Structures are given as C-alpha cells and as structure tokens.
C-alpha cells in the first residue's frame, strides 16, 4: 500500500509491513465506509500488504519503478528478475548495476580507461583473521599509509565510510565490520563511536582507499552529478546535469547529510569558478568525464556519480568515487535541484525516467 511507502527510512517500511495490523477504530471506519470505497476506489486498490510473485506482477503492471537504493535493488538482482519476466524498469540493466555496486570493480574499470582514481586495497575477513598485522602492512605498502578511507565494497549511502588515521583505529573498525553476530556489544559500539540506534554493517571484505586531497590543485571540491538518458530513435542520448558541490560537516558525508531535509549542505551548481567562462569550461569538462564514466560502465536511465574535482591552471581532473545506478530520491536529494536547472519539475523528472524505461524496452535497445 502507498501509505506504507511514504517514509524516508526503508527500515520503517519493512517494520510496518512485517508487523502489519489494523487498529480497531480504523477497522470500524473501513467497515462503515465500505460501500463508498467499493464505489469509488479502483479494483486494483491495495489496502494491506501481500506478497506477490514476479510472474503475477507481470500480469498486473506495465512497468516497474525500483525505489531501492543499495542492495538488492541496486546490484542487479531485482533488475534481472524483472527482465526475465518481461517487465520494463527504471535504472540501469542488471549487468551494469552488478558492476557499479562494487566500488572496487567500478574504479578498476575506470582506471584501465585512463581515469585518475584512488589507489585501492581489499582486506578480506579470512586474510585478516589469519594475520591481521600482515594484512595491514600489505595495505600500507600499496596505498601509501594512513590516513585512509575505509568502506564496505558494496554499500551505498555512506554506510560505514570512515576516515581511518591509524592501525589501531583500523583494527577497531574491522572488529565491527568482521564481527560474527549482528548484535553489537555496548563496548564495541562505544569504540566505534556509533550514535544510539546507528547501524553498522557486517561484511566479509573491506575496501581501503588512498585519501584523496587537493594535492597541488588551485581549486579542489567534492561534487555529485546526476544524469538522465533518452531514446533518440535507436540511439541513447545522455543529459548530464550541472553537478552539485557537497559540503560535509565531518570527515566524510553522512547518510543524513545526503538524504534528510535540513541536514546536508549542497550547492547547486557547484562553485567551479567565479568567472562565467571559466565556470563553463570546467563544468563542461567534468560533465564530459561523468558521461564517459557512465558509458564505460553501461549506466542508463538515470544515475548520480560522486567525485572529487581538482583544478590546476587549465587542467581539470575528475576523480570518481562511486556510481549510484539507482540514486536515493528523497525530497532533500540534490538530483532534484540539478534537474530543476534543466527545467524539470520533480514529477516531470520521474516521468522522463519512466519514459526511457518504456521506450528502451519497446525499441528493442539492449539493456
């Protein structure tokens, strides 16, 4: 039911569905108004949650909108099932989504195609438990030592992304990430500096990345750029929005700063330069880089790419951090600010996403 989806927090949606019940007063009102509801509501109206198979879904809908940021909606799992049942959907094809959910594979593909990316090292739980000190030594030798950025390889929303300044700090972080049980002791929560009720994932691998800084750039900023794709006959055309500048209050952008109204600071368009001509030159180069990254990874429909930008003289270096093939779309997310510059109201933006899904399917364009 739509009434259960009007939440910013997916956990709240899940809990409402799993613990679904109707208050006696609400039930009384529904019973007394049954005649009115039967007369004016569409026969497809859903009043309570019920499980439905993909086969049945194909009989009921002409198109699916995947509103899942992260797994299992952003890793190709849902996309593959929808495609198998002939249901058009928003976002990238399953093969592309499976690549972009993996932050290591994403950057390695870009690196092999000439992009500047952070040096990366993967520490597995198995190798770490075999010899923790050696695993950390190997990581230091490859990416140049602390400070580093540590993150899960396949989560979105800045989940468990930390700036790590020492070996001891990394060991505490890995103790949390590699723990054996979901429930965490009060002591470990305190060591990790977690807020009340703040979740911390369990993962078999962690991605360690070289800290990206300004180096010797004249101008350095973190940006996030959204985009749409359109069908022009049998060809796909990219529409790259003006990126937003992301301002973090801490060492990395938090989940709340990205998606909760009033929490984050995003400046749209990004402050590439005060000079109009210089701004346009830098913006054009950054947007061209974002489009190239999207094309290399088979991204389509719509997406948002996070990156750092270094500007030195006439040189512009776009350093991609990650690609979100199904970016979060809460009222606070900056992709709505970006599409507004191109003349789209929020509902028009969503309509364009759905239009591409339907047209790409009907045209036979390979997804």
For residue 69, give the nearest of 329, 353, 305, 341 by alpha carbon.
Answer: 329
Least reliable range by pLDDT among 141-145, 155-159, 166-170, 306-310? 155-159
Alpha-carbon gap, residue 60 to 55, rounded angstroms:
9
46: CB partners within 8 A, 6+ apart: 1, 2
Number of helical H runs and strand E runs in the chain = 16, 10
Tokens coding 356: 């591409």
Neighbours of 16 (CB within 10 A): 16
Given this model, what pLDDT does residue 156 score? 59
99: CB partners within 8 A, 6+ apart: 105, 106, 109, 297, 298
**Contact by Cβ (8 Å): 115, 141:** no
Q: List pLDDT tens digits, range 270-311.
A: 999 999 999 999 999 999 999 999 999 999 999 999 999 999
- Mean of pLDDT values over 238-264: 69
Structural domains in the chain, CATH included, are 2-93 (3.40.50), 98-115+214-362 (3.30.470.20), 120-210 (3.30.1490.20)
**Contact by Cβ (8 Å): 152, 214:** no
pLDDT band, very low/low/confident/very high, at 123 (cuts 50, 70, 90): very high
Given this model, what pLDDT does residue 158 score? 61
- Mean of pLDDT values over 168-182: 95
For β-strands 302-312 and 315-324, DSSP reports them as: antiparallel
**Contact by Cβ (8 Å): 211, 308:** no
Percent of the chain exceeding pLDDT 70 equals 89
Give the total residue count for the chain.
Answer: 367
Given this model, what pLDDT does residue 263 score? 53
Alpha-carbon gap, residue 253 to 255, rounded angstroms:
7
Q: List pLDDT tens digits, range 207-242.
A: 999 999 999 999 999 999 999 999 998 889 999 999
pLDDT band, very low/low/confident/very high, at 363 (cuts 50, 70, 90): low
In degrees, rounded to 5, the angle at the alpha carbon of residue 205 between the alpha carbons of residues 130 and 148 is 95
Given this model, what pLDDT does residue 50 score? 84
pLDDT band, very low/low/confident/very high, at 115 (cuts 50, 70, 90): very high
230 bridge partner residues: 237
The yes-or-no verdict on residue 365 having pLDDT over 90 is no
Residue 91 DSSP class = S
């Amino acid at each position: 039911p739509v009434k259960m989806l009007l939440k910013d927090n997916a956990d709240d949606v899940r809990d409402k569905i799993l613990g679904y019940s109707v208050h006696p007063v609400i039930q009384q009102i529904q019973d007394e108004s049954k005649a009115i509801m039967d007369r004016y509501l569409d026969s497809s109206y859903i009043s309570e949650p019920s499980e439905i198979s993909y086969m049945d879904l194909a009989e009921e809908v002409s198109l699916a909108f995947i509103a899942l940021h992260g797994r299992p909606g952003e890793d190709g799992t849902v996309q593959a099932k929808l495609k198998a049942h002939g249901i058009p959907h928003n976002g990238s094809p399953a093969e592309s989504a499976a690549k972009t959910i993996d932050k290591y594979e994403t950057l390695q593909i870009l690196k092999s195609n000439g992009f500047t990316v952070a040096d990366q090292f993967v520490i597995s739980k198995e190798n770490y438990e075999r010899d923790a000190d050696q695993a950390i030594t190997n990581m230091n030798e490859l990416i140049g030592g602390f400070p580093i950025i540590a993150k899960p390889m396949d989560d979105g929303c800045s989940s468990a992304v930390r700036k790590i300044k020492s070996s001891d700090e990394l060991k505490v972080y890995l103790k949390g990430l590699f723990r054996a049980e979901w429930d965490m002791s009060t002591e470990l929560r305190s060591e990790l500096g977690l807020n009340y009720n703040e979740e911390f994932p369990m993962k078999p691998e962690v991605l360690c990345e070289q800290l990206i800084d300004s180096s010797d750039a004249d101008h350095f900023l973190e940006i996030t750029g959204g985009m749409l794709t359109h069908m022009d006959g049998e060809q796909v055309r990219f529409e790259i929005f003006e990126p937003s500048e992301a301002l973090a209050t801490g060492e990395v952008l938090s989940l709340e700063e990205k998606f909760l109204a009033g929490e984050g600071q995003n400046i749209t368009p990004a402050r590439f330069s005060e000079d109009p001509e210089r701004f346009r030159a830098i913006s054009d180069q950054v947007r061209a880089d974002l489009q190239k990254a999207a094309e290399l990874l088979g991204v389509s429909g719509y997406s948002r790419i996070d990156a750092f930008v270094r500007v030195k003289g006439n040189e512009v270096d776009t350093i991609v951090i990650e690609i979100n093939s199904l970016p979060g779309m809460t009222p606070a997310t900056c992709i709505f600010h970006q599409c507004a510059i191109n003349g789209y109201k929020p509902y028009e933006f969503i309509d364009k996403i759905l239009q591409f899904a339907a047209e790409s399917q009907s045209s036979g364009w390979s997804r």
